[in-house]
Amino acid sequence: MDTTAVINILLHGNQLKRTPRTGWVQRGVPNAEDVAAHSFGVVYTILVLAPLVKASINLERALAMAALHDLPESMTTDIPTPAWRFLPDSIKTEVERAAMHEMLFSVTSTGSVTETNISAQFMAWWEELHARQTPEALLVHDADKIDMFLQALLYEKQTGNQQLAEFWAKPFTFHYPEAQAIYDELRTRRAP
């Protein structure tokens, strides 16, 4: 085992505890959650949703993808969605893929690439998530949005922040009807 490579991967995950969710900060949310807190929210949402959806879900894969979904932000920071609209369509995935490669596959001083025994598996889960072809990947995308909308509702209720209304302006469509029902109920709960 290459302990240096493993520690490097752990340090990147740990960095998410100090990487703020920029979208909340930009909208004036005091003490906004960090990316690690959001990642936990997505993992927890997977645990709740997986037994509810009418698809066969491999929980290990779904949880792994959920835990890794924002790992590149340890290097790129959390670039909010409005900023990406100024960049080419595929750039977000390309940038995050490059960050994942740098984190998971070390280049030695001789130019050879070393990897831990988890590097290839982590990359495969991350690529599966971004391909959006499996029931697990679709569930993680739904859970990611459910956690965001839940957090937006909580911030609105706790702080009265009106800048978060833009999150709700355009109705969102989910892959799974069970996730859609939760979102629809969240929209109902924010009504005055």
- Provide the residue ranges of all domains of the chain, joining segments of one domain with +: 3-189
- The better pLDDT of the pair 110, 121 is held by 121
Residue 153, CA distances (Å) to 12, 37, 112, 128, 149 in order: 29, 16, 48, 30, 6
Average pLDDT over residues 105-124: 74
- Per-residue model confidence as pLDDT tens digits over 133-182: 999 999 999 999 999 999 999 999 999 998 999 999 999 999 999 999 99
Instruction: Retrieve residue 17's tokens.
Output: 């505890």
**Residue 191 confidence (pLDDT):** 76
Average pLDDT over residues 44-57: 97
As a CATH number, domain 3-189 is 1.10.3210.10
